[in-house]
Structure 1
Amino acid sequence: MSLRARSKSAAWLRCLALACASGGFVPAAGAMDLLQAWQAAVINDAQLRAARAAAASNRERLPQAQAQLRPQVNLSLQRSRNDLNSESAGPLGRPVQDQLVYTSAADSLTVRQPIYRPQLRAQVRVARALVENGEAVLQQEEQRLAMRVTQAYFEALLAEEQLRLVGVQQAATTAQLEAARKGFAGGSGTRTDIEEAQARLDLNFAQELEARQAVEFTRRQLAQIVGQPVAQLAPVDAERLPLAMPQPALLEDWLARARTASPELRAAAANVEAARQAVERARANHLPTLDALAQVVRSDSDNPTRVDTRYTQKAIGLQLNVPIYQGGLVDSQVRQALADVERSESVLEATRLDLEARVFREFRGVGEGIARIRALEQAVRSAEQLVRSSRRSQQGGSRSVLDVLNAEQQLGSAQRDLAQARFAYLLSLVRLRALAGEWQDASLAQVNGWLRP
């Protein structure tokens, strides 16, 4: 392929990249920062709305269980139109038929107050544990949303940074291509230098296309979470980014915080408590129950032998129910409840071990991230010095265009790795705080303060 055709191909790739990156995306007015993204996601996210509705539904378990311990009042009203046909033996044994049409009524007001119902009291404790589980699950979903927003935000920033670095490399390669052409025209260069620079420039255009597609994809991911288009994002300010271990600086302290405040553990522990109270509720089905009962009954012609007769009956007393045999139902329910306790305790232990492993991984990620960032900062400085030296050597004739291009590529790789290391460090720090139950608006605002307006 000729140089002119290759240049046209590269220009076509660049136009295609611009079209792919801009197609169908509506820019927003002004840059969005992390705090604004979180506030928008809290309103828009469907998963969080579902978790809030589930928590509201769980809260109603407690008043429903408590209501069964309060007086139950029932009113019954009955009106009937009766058509009674009767036949009896008359004089001389002849049957006598009679027909009576009348209206009857029966009204009753009943008040029942549970006095001794151990299964109902156990049900209240079960409901209270389930409400606690629902609140912990809601908090867990809020933290998951915060993590999803943070990760999507930083992925979008990383894609933008990679696109910027590709542009820097592209500009440097273009300058080298022009220098190689001038050198060749002046008799001091070779066609190989031009070919090397042109091949590297073509590769840059392909990388630009890929980087622009990554920018569009990551922005759309963030836009789906926040519920609005994302055009610009506030970038990370390297000068504000603190490279220090979070306080406290000991892993055991973070593990202790996670065991105490993690919503995952609180949700699992609430399930264990609910299962244990369900065992008590099942066992209580063996016990007798005692209720206080008060009733007022008023009847009118409720008996065909007493038509046009009205009665008012008032009664108050106690009702005792003693279960004797239910076919083994209660024993089976107890065994089932005990199995649920064992299952929930195993889930709690598995959750605790998994949580500790994640805390260890993120705590280690913070420490290793600091070391990696500092090492890559030094690598970037060294790569910049190498680029400057290679350019001076090229001008002196001791280095070729390829040497300069390789040095610039090494610089771009170091800068890309540094950007990835900074975002990985930030994500590890955010995840560590979330696992310890410390992810709140104040923590989000602190991370947001590390961005450049």
Structure 2
Amino acid sequence: MFTPMACFKEERKMYKFFEPKRLLIFTLVFSVGTNVFAKNLSLEQATILALKKSENIEQYALDIEMAKEQIEEAYASLYPQVSAEIQGIRHTKAPVLQFNGTSVPVRQDWELLSSLTLNQIVYSFGRVGSALKIAKLSNKVQIKAKQIAEREIRQAVEVAYYNAILAKSILDISEDSLSNARKNQKALQKRFQGGRVPRLDNLRMESEIAARKPSVSNATKNLKLAYLQLNLLTGLPINTNPVLTSHLGSSFKKLSESQLISKAKEAPQVELAQLSVDLASKQMEIEESYHYPTISAFGNASHSGTGDEMPPRDENLFTSVSVGLAINIPIYEGGAVVSRTRQKAIEKRRAEVAKQRVIEQTDVELLSNVQEYNTGLERLSAAKEAVRLSKQAYELTRTRYETGGVTRNDLNDSERSLTAARIEVESIKFGLLQNKSIIKRITEEVE
């Protein structure tokens, strides 16, 4: 018999049957989604993502578009300005002239006024030309500012990317150190395999293992933070752990200070400072031009008339044409033009001082990073040799410890030396790449 209760029981059976499968499907979907985000990520891909995500780059692109429109606006002042006007007037009471006591109407009920006017600046003593040059310079300023922002983003991404690689290397080294501590404990057991392991020695080995676990935890935390910083820059999901396919590198070349210093003069921040000086100079010139007259040509054509209807009849419409040359001569403005010119002169001087400061800061930043880089090359060579020797020393010490040739402290110290040497190599590599990233931001010449 089919009842609602029986139907409910059947639905419960079906639900219990499908519930584990629904969980399995959800798990599979979630796992696939996670794997999609855990993708390979090269340094170039990370840079492209960061440039697309950056609000600053988008803002500079809009500023460039605005500057282009300002250039078009400045060009408009070079061309004639043409305007037309048409008026239809209804005189409810026509105006009259009094003549010998008699009122003579001068207009009828309807009046039509139409005119075409043309104005053209002939010469303005550099005012129009300077305005156009200022607009073009403003466009160059925005382009150069966008270039600087792009280089800064590239540097930030490179440093974040290399920092994530460094954090992963430090985690691997910490895990290797923990594994070595466990191997040391096995060497202790092997040393006393014919008898009981001394309790003190066993406790010391246990403490060495326990002491390395916080280092692994701290390295794991640093790796997560490094991924977080990289994800924030590139716009990837926050919890993504991308597989970094670019590496810190193993070979580095010495850099030439003289060649790079010559390229520092072409650094975008230096060129931007020079553009600021040029812009201030043109602004001063345009203020000076207000001391001089403006010469312009004009023309006017009108077609007007009155009548009893709208439009008036052709015999009541008259056409007139006039042309002329106008000269606007500033005579006295209370010293306002002189004051504005002096203000622009001060701004130009400030731009020149700022340019000199930018040049000095750029040279110092470049030289210091080149010197740090070249010094780091020497340190890297010595650190790699230290790793090679420390690895050999540790393997030999552990072998000798098993036979009683060295003490427990000798074994642990040897392992710590190996771990410290490996971390030093990775840290020096990161420093070298950081120096190269800064040098590349300035000169765009380092590979």
Shorter-normalised TM range:
0.7 to 0.9
Does the 8 Å CA contact 2:270/2:358 hold for their aligned counterparts? yes
Note closer, same or farther for the CA distance 1:227–1:102 as it changes in structure 2 (3 Å cut): farther
Q: Give the alignment partner of residue 371 of structure 1, picking from 369, 378, 397.
A: 378
Residues 17-28 of structure 1: matches in 2 within 5 Å? 28=37
Note closer, same or farther for the CA distance 1:80–1:207 as it changes in structure 2 (3 Å cut): farther
Q: Which residue of 1 aligns with 2:224?
A: 216
Letter in 1 for 2:387: V
Once residues 36 and 218 of structure 1 are traced to their aligned partners in structure 2, the CA distance between those partners, rounded to angstroms, is: 17
Once residues 343 and 184 of structure 2 are traced to their aligned partners in structure 1, the CA distance between those partners, rounded to angstroms, is: 76
Once residues 199 and 68 of structure 2 are traced to their aligned partners in structure 1, the CA distance between those partners, rounded to angstroms, is: 77
Once residues 235 and 321 of structure 1 are traced to their aligned partners in structure 2, the CA distance between those partners, rounded to angstroms, is: 68
Once residues 301 and 219 of structure 1 are traced to their aligned partners in structure 2, the CA distance between those partners, rounded to angstroms, is: 83
Aligned residues: 401
Q: Which residue of 1 aligns with 2:72?
A: 63
Does the 8 Å CA contact 2:38/2:241 hold for their aligned counterparts? no
Matched, 1:295 2:300: yes
CA offset at residue 31 of structure 1?
Answer: 2.2
Q: Which residue of 2 aligns with 1:124?
A: 132
The residue matched to 1:242 in structure 2 has which SS? coil
The residue matched to 1:336 in structure 2 has which SS? helix
Q: Give the alignment partner of residue 48 of structure 2, picking from 32, 39, 45.
A: 39
The residue matched to 2:120 in structure 1 has which SS? strand
Matched, 1:231 2:242: yes
Deviations 1:215-239 (A, max 9, x none): 111112112222224421025264x
CA offset at residue 394 of structure 1?
Answer: 1.0
Residues 142-157 of structure 1: matches in 2 within 5 Å? 142-157=150-165
Q: Which residue of 2 aligns with 1:13?
A: none
TM-score (structure 1 length as normaliser): 0.81
Note closer, same or farther for the CA distance 1:324–1:191 as it changes in structure 2 (3 Å cut): same
Once residues 97 and 263 of structure 2 are traced to their aligned partners in structure 1, the CA distance between those partners, rounded to angstroms, is: 89
Does the 8 Å CA contact 1:106/1:298 hold for their aligned counterparts? yes
CA offset at residue 85 of structure 1?
Answer: 8.2
Deviations 1:114-161 (A, max 9, x none): 110221111122222222222211111111111111111101111111
Once residues 375 and 431 of structure 2 are traced to their aligned partners in structure 1, the CA distance between those partners, rounded to angstroms, is: 10
Q: Which residue of 2 aligns with 1:271?
A: 276
Q: Which residue of 2 aligns with 1:77?
A: 86
Once residues 243 and 163 of structure 2 are traced to their aligned partners in structure 1, the CA distance between those partners, rounded to angstroms, is: 13
Note closer, same or farther for the CA distance 1:185–1:395 as it changes in structure 2 (3 Å cut): closer
Q: Which residue of 2 aligns with 1:380?
A: 387
Does the 8 Å CA contact 2:169/2:426 hold for their aligned counterparts? yes
Stretch deviating more after TM superposition (213-222 or 196-205): 196-205
Once residues 275 and 356 of structure 1 are traced to their aligned partners in structure 2, the CA distance between those partners, rounded to angstroms, is: 24
Q: Which residue of 2 aligns with 1:254?
A: 260
Q: Which residue of 1 aligns with 2:10?
A: none
The residue matched to 1:387 in structure 2 has which SS? helix
Q: Which residue of 1 aligns with 2:21?
A: none
Once residues 85 and 182 of structure 1 are traced to their aligned partners in structure 2, the CA distance between those partners, rounded to angstroms, is: 127
Deviations 1:35-54 (A, max 9, x none): 12122222222222222222
Does the 8 Å CA contact 1:390/1:407 hold for their aligned counterparts? yes
Once residues 370 and 167 of structure 1 are traced to their aligned partners in structure 2, the CA distance between those partners, rounded to angstroms, is: 27
Identical columns (%): 21
Once residues 86 and 30 of structure 1 are traced to their aligned partners in structure 2, the CA distance between those partners, rounded to angstroms, is: 87
The residue matched to 2:243 in structure 1 has which SS? coil
Does the 8 Å CA contact 2:290/2:337 hold for their aligned counterparts? yes
Matched, 1:189 2:197: yes
Q: Give the alignment partner of residue 285 of structure 2, picking from 277, 280, 285.
A: 280
CA offset at residue 26 of structure 1?
Answer: 6.8
Q: Which residue of 2 aligns with 1:424?
A: 431
Residue ranges of structure 1 left out of the alignment (5+ in a row): 1-21, 447-453
Once residues 96 and 298 of structure 2 are traced to their aligned partners in structure 1, the CA distance between those partners, rounded to angstroms, is: 41
Q: Give the alignment partner of residue 403 of structure 2, picking from 396, 400, 414.
A: 396
TM-score (structure 2 length as normaliser): 0.82
Q: Which has the larger radius of gyration?
A: 2
Letter in 2 for 1:35: E
The residue matched to 2:41 in structure 1 has which SS? coil
Once residues 79 and 197 of structure 1 are traced to their aligned partners in structure 2, the CA distance between those partners, rounded to angstroms, is: 107
Does the 8 Å CA contact 2:117/2:298 hold for their aligned counterparts? yes
Once residues 112 and 192 of structure 2 are traced to their aligned partners in structure 1, the CA distance between those partners, rounded to angstroms, is: 116
Does the 8 Å CA contact 2:191/2:403 hold for their aligned counterparts? no
Kindly report the root-mean-square deviation, in angstroms, between the aligned alpha carbons of the 2 structures.
2.9
Once residues 174 and 376 of structure 1 are traced to their aligned partners in structure 2, the CA distance between those partners, rounded to angstroms, is: 26
Residue ranges of structure 2 left out of the alignment (5+ in a row): 1-30
Letter in 1 for 2:148: Q
Letter in 2 for 1:169: S
